[in-house]
Structure 1
């Protein structure tokens, strides 16, 4: 039996997709007009269901004062400089002897003096943002992460710069004035940060911005990678969540092609052959022929790499960039202990699961968790679970259901 299917993933929250909470355009309209090309400012009253509730001021205070955050989940910037960790961290006290926990007392002093608080990795630490970013990543098909920037009145956190990933900026409180300038390095890659082009960025910043506007609560800015930007808080405290989209590019395809081609070319005995003696080190004249042998082998291998192999390799990287939906270990064990035939289970969201056939009639479930292999008699249950979304435990089989629960592959359906 050959099976190839992808897990069904819930893509809607309160009746609207994650992307629809950020832009007023259809997915196809956004993709054709703005994705990777042009900035887009979406006003709160244009969005049917916005994202301003992702992180409020009380939520920020909760995170920095009661959650025991450590670096690098928080950093602090002032006047274009990032403060050293010791300037805003301290020991955790009795029973928590950790030297780099965020100090709310130190943070209060810095914030009152005009520093910007940067909450990093909110896609790992704050529930509403965890859920939203996982949903958005599924819709876009590109990895997503989230930071928040909390800026005092009339303060500028960072100098003009560009990012090497696309961003959605969600203004959740206050107001912030933004200035955008076209890229000096179009479509920069991850290894091409703005600091490598500092003089060009500084020169661009001396000219009038191409776009200047103010974001208010509920407004959203989409900014493709490479666009130079800076922002200043107006009036009171400004909080915005930056959702970074680490886009896949054709460079990723080239990387996978090259890796697969080298593996294929290495099967040739000629390519594996030893180079001649070269006293004094390699010389062009003595290696010309060998270089051509390697070149031709690589070119032949590149042309022969199946597109399906490239996609499979990229799927593996895609699975590694995101997490499955959070799961409670205690709840899972309790569910496995108490499972009954009328209990309903569903595939854990955001697994990135694919079901493929195995020799002998079994099947292998590949996902963001370790692979799971089942025998032929359980294949039908897995197919139904992946395709139908929710099943009664007695339809799956109680033993298999317990196994899936303890592996974190399914959860009880509410």
Structure 2
């Protein structure tokens, strides 16, 4: 489900001029170039020479705003200084909240403040992550790292997922150890890196406004110089064949007993019995490879991605006044959605919500789920004018549809499409 080229990235400072959050993070590298040439290949530095580039996402007060937003969840805050990790109870108040004064004091003692999954607490970052999820279909999260001068947070390590590093304030030197990533099968076995066995690193300096792409498995570390640093990591968790198999197998287990066939007695010790297990496994593999089974597995992954979105801000009753077939509306951006079957008809699923309708609304629901451009209410296919207006009002109230500021003219919509 691509993001509209006209949607822009709605950062906290207002609507941006790029096609999508991902395009904004990568510019001037295009998304196509990134996916075709850089994705999974090697670290890539996008130097911009613009220290204010990320200001509309994270302004000058971000070092205070992010820890304050996580104050009620100490488990989301970590204090790290190389091999030293403070325990949460060392910076937690009696009421169970984060002791922000203690956290700031530890920053002066050389500790890096790490704030995990900040998209759960601050809407600008949930907008950013969900925009990437809509475009790539990959679950995404954001962590923040606030590091004092002359300090190192984590020792050399690797991540199990791909990362976009956004340098918000200050600069940081990044070190890369070796040219080959840790293979995925070894990532399942290795949890730490032995610094003594690492080759001499290469390095680069990330300045404010720059983006760094790190593929999964690349061993790296980073340190500040004479100034403090704030950077964000956009973690992109790419599903694997194992992910699809797991979801498909689970969905198959809910309707087909082929995967519930009991193993025979002595299957561990009797060579003759063990030789028969291949046929049982093959029956299960055949069932998993069936197109209907794969569709169910993909549907389960869709459901997971849909539910990751924060509920959109609900509309006001005043926004539904005066709606007719010529009223211009658009889908909230970014918002991943899908159309599903319900007991009585069809449902439009988005975030933690589902709007249900009769079966004759299916064509209109699919139009709404797939549409990324503004449109007139009268363009909803397969419905009468009263049905078009009623459905539009319902979706404005639920936050799925919005009326563009100033209400676009019909001519503007025509030129847009």
Structure-2-length-normalised TM-score: 0.78
Match of 1:369 among 352, 356, 361: 352
Aligned residue for 2:79?
Answer: 76
- In the TM superposition, residue 240 of structure 1 has moved relative to its aligned partner by 0.5
2:114 corresponds in structure 1 to 118
**Partners in 1 of 2:213 and 2:118 — Cα distance?**
19
> Is the contact made by 1:339 and 1:398 (CA closer than 8 Å) also made in structure 2?
no
Pairing of 1:3-402 with structure 2 (within 5 A): 12-13=8-9, 14-16=16-18, 17-23=20-26, 24-45=28-49, 50-51=53-54, 53-65=56-68, 68-91=71-94, 99-182=95-178, 186-188=182-184, 192=188, 194-195=190-191, 197-199=192-194, 202-205=195-198, 207-209=199-201, 211-259=202-250, 266-267=257-258, 272=261, 275-276=264-265, 283-285=269-271, 287-288=273-274, 290-302=276-288, 304-306=289-291, 309-321=293-305, 323-324=308-309, 326-328=311-313, 331-332=314-315, 334-335=316-317, 339-342=321-324, 345-355=329-339, 362-376=345-359, 378-379=361-362, 381-383=364-366, 385-386=368-369, 387=371, 389-392=374-377, 396-397=387-388, 399-402=390-393
Shift of residue 116, structure 1, vs aligned partner: 0.6
Q: Which runs of 5+ in 2 are unaligned?
A: 10-15, 379-384, 406-417
Describe the SS at the equivalent of 1:167: strand
Shift of 1:190: 11
Query: With structure 1 as the length reference, what TM-score do the two structures score?
Result: 0.79
Rate the CA distance shift 1:292–1:319 in 2: closer, same or farther, 3 A. closer
Question: Is the Cα–Cα contact under 8 Å of residues 119 and 126 in structure 2 kept in the other structure?
Answer: yes
Q: Deviations over 1:290-328 (max 9, x none)?
A: 5244133224334x511x642552343244246335433
Tell me how far apart the structure 1 counterparts of residues 103 and 343 of structure 2 sit (CA, whole Å): 59
Supply the distance in 2 between the matched residues of 1:404 and 1:251 (Cα, whole angstroms): 36
Query: Aligned pairs, how many?
Result: 385
1:190–1:314 Cα change, 3 Å? farther
Q: Deviations over 1:162-210 (max 9, x none)?
A: 0001101111111111101237763437972752x533xx2343x211x
Deviation at 1:127, TM superposition (A): 3.1
Tell me if the contact between 1:143 and 1:245 (Cα under 8 Å) persists in the aligned partners. yes
Instruction: After superposing the two structures, state which structure 1 stretch, 378-387 or 147-156, moved more.
Output: 378-387
Structure 1 stretches of 5 or more lacking a match? 1-5, 92-98
Aligned equivalents of 2:117 and 2:263: distance in 1? 48
Root mean square deviation of aligned Cα? 3.6
SS where residue 234 of structure 1 aligns?
Answer: coil
Find the aligned partners of 1:391 and 1:7 in 2 and give their Cα distance: 20
Residue equivalent to 2:382 = none
Distance 2:125 2:269 in 1: 56
Supply the distance in 1 between the matched residues of 2:271 and 2:173 (Cα, whole angstroms): 60
Q: 1:299 to 1:242 in 2, by over 3 A?
A: closer
